[in-house]
Amino acid sequence: MKEFELIKHFFTEQNVKRKDVLQGIGDDCAVIASTENQNIVVTTDTLVAGVHFPLETSARAIGHKAVAVNLSDIAAMGAKPSWISLAITLPDIDNAWLTEFCAGVFELCEYYNVELIGGDTTQGPLSITITAQGLIPEGKYLSRSGAKAGDWLYVTGEIGDAALALQHINNEVTLEQDFIEPIQNKLDYPKPRVLAGQALREYASAAIDISDGLLADLGHICQASNVGANIVLDAIPLSQILRDSLFFDDAIKLALNGGDDYELLFTISEDNKVGMETALTNVGIQCTCIGQINATQTISTTLNNKPVPISSSGFEHFSEK
Amino acid sequence: MKEFELIKHFFTEQNVKRKDVLQGIGDDCAVIASTENQNIVVTTDTLVAGVHFPLETSARAIGHKAVAVNLSDIAAMGAKPSWISLAITLPDIDNAWLTEFCAGVFELCEYYNVELIGGDTTQGPLSITITAQGLIPEGKYLSRSGAKAGDWLYVTGEIGDAALALQHINNEVTLEQDFIEPIQNKLDYPKPRVLAGQALREYASAAIDISDGLLADLGHICQASNVGANIVLDAIPLSQILRDSLFFDDAIKLALNGGDDYELLFTISEDNKVGMETALTNVGIQCTCIGQINATQTISTTLNNKPVPISSSGFEHFSEK
């Protein structure tokens, strides 16, 4: 067990040193300076080997993804990520693995000026739990509960590629050779929409990041906001690779149910549309209007302007129809 | 996997609702109000089944201990615990187990007015990671690095009982029947010294909680403060049960190396002794002076006023002599 103490050195050498971290790694707690007129947002996500990533995933991708899924939650609140704590459970000590894992963690941390302020290293089956925190001006955070009937439904980026990569890994689909690497990268190195989230906080009425799947996460917004929504299936942004690899129906099913996209799904009033589109363009993020919020408390879908039924027993069963 | 979403209900019904939690469980992040003139302390600890607690440990004890070891770190900073995030990985869903686990978690949270603000529930081998946060007036936190030559070395409570319980579980010692339950409780239900920590912040020069063992944790203070220390072995507070169960030498070895005590080890200047002792008495906490800090940069021990050697190869090897 003492050896596990030694590997702490992997986590103490980092380039990010924030002024608001009064005490970093190395004491009983980290200490953070007071933050006047700012709210702090906090999120925790665990990745378990074989459950949240395939066992053969590279150490660098695991490190990246563990940070990315947490920063994605911070982005969905419109906040700016600041500090993370990292709890890692390892079956054994593999210096090469740890070096690569840390590279994945710190690349993202450096890019977003996020300091690793502490954590724990324990022996056991591989799993990583990160608690990430961020700052946002007082009262400005986005939640899932602000969507209103009439608001437009938007999504950043393209949806479904991570799920396609998972199908490829599970031998459920055969991809053209040229498609494999870019699709694998979408699964392994998701980009948290941190800048988009901050740009949206002046405009969006509700926001969530897509981790469970577009339909399930829209369900979370609808439930929290007590509204319904219609999705225009032909409007869902699909990558050229996804379109080229699957029939349209299968591609749409994957986009609706796949998950692991880490794009932002958000709602916006008619009045805020132009401002929002300008703000996202300024940070270089593509967004697409894929539907509208309504008062029905159910989620419907249309294709070619015609209703397409989804299972009455719930969104989860859509893929069974 | 969907079932694992359902067990969230176990964690949403809690009695603690803090005013500074603007958004609790149920969105992408929790949101915490700004805290003027307060520093925030943050700590993370993971408990892995079979590593940090015996496999047969009760669910309630696991829940208690997972919170307690984190609050103990907060106590060692002199801070007041405020919020926790809980990431739990479970092999399967066992309602009775979860009910007991939550009872253990929430008993402590309610006692200290700590709100569970989020977390994650995943499937895999049993392990619990808690990130705990606390508040402390700006700049008032205790660290490991403030000990000075001449300061007195103190410890709260009694040391060695948790290690005795572990020896009993591993059949390394035979305990009298009456001793088993109280000793088992010391291992399973450690009391984080939260009130003592807050009382100490006006007086102590350095502090740490004893998790690795008295000698190892004193080593952490000495290293961080660039000092040495002498421990008066006859002064170490041992419980009557420990004295009655082991020879004195074995009891002292256990107290020095056992760990899992979650008492506070702290240093204090001559000038602050009386004030500190009064402050701890006011919160009902026993403390004992067990030695003194010096400038040697090594740790020595005395018994009956005579030096007793500890291995030159380091504190960890003391038990091998």
Q: Where are the domains of chain A?
A: 2-137, 152-320
Nearest CA in chain B to A264: B28
Give me the pLDDT at residue A315, please.
Answer: 35
Q: Check residue B317 and give its pLDDT.
A: 29
pLDDT at A50: 87
**A166-198 pLDDT, tens digit each:** 999 999 999 999 999 999 999 999 999 999 999
* Cα(A48)–Cα(A55) distance, integer angstroms: 10
Q: What is the pLDDT of residues B125-167, one digit of tens each?
A: 999 999 999 999 999 999 999 999 999 999 999 999 999 999 9
pLDDT in tens, A64-76: 999 999 999 999 9
Cβ–Cβ below 8 Å for A122 and B29: no
CATH class of B2-137: alpha beta
Q: Which CATH number fits domain B152-320: 3.90.650.10, 3.40.50.970, 3.30.360.10, 2.40.50.140?
A: 3.90.650.10
Inter-chain touch A39–B33, beta carbons under 8 Å: yes
Residue of B nearest to A117 (CA): B42
pLDDT of res. B312: 39
Instruction: Point out the least confidently predicted range of A223-232, A301-310, B104-113.
Output: A301-310
Over residues A253-280, the mean pLDDT reads 96
Which of B123, B208, B224 minimises the CB distance to A48?
Answer: B123
Q: What local confidence, expressed as pLDDT, does residue B35 receive?
A: 81
Q: Taking CB atoms and an 8 Å limit, are B44 and A119 in contact across chains? A: yes
Mean pLDDT of A118-130: 92
Ranges of chain B whose pLDDT falls below 50: 1, 312-321
pLDDT at position A313, please?
33
- Kindly state the percentage of chain A with pLDDT values over 70: 94
Whether A312 shows a pLDDT value over 90: the answer reads: no
CB contact under 8 A, B46 and A86: no
The Cα A171–Cα A167 span in angstroms is 6
Measure CB to CB from residue B42 to each of A32, A34, A124 and give the nearest one. A32
Q: Shortest Cα distance from B50 to chain A (angstroms)?
A: 9
Q: Which of B2, B52, B76 sits opposite A28 (nearest CB)?
A: B76
What local confidence, expressed as pLDDT, does residue B20 receive?
A: 93
Number of A:B CB contacts under 8 A?
205
Among B1, B21, B42, B257, the residue to mutate for chain A (most A Cβ within 10 A): B42
Identify the three-state secondary structure at position A285.
Answer: coil
Tell me the chain A residues in contact with residue B79 when contact means C-beta distances shorter than 8 Å. 29
pLDDT value at residue B264: 98
* pLDDT value of position B9: 77
d(CA A198, CA A76): 9
Q: What is the pLDDT of residue B10?
A: 83
CA dihedral B264, B101, B12, A211 (to 10 degrees): 100
Q: What is the distance between the alpha carbons of residues A160 and A146, in angstroms, rounded to a whole number? A: 26
Phi and psi based region of residue B69 (left: phi greater than 0; alpha: psi -120 to 50; beta: remaining): alpha
Nearest 5°: CA angle at A63, between A61 and A69?
90
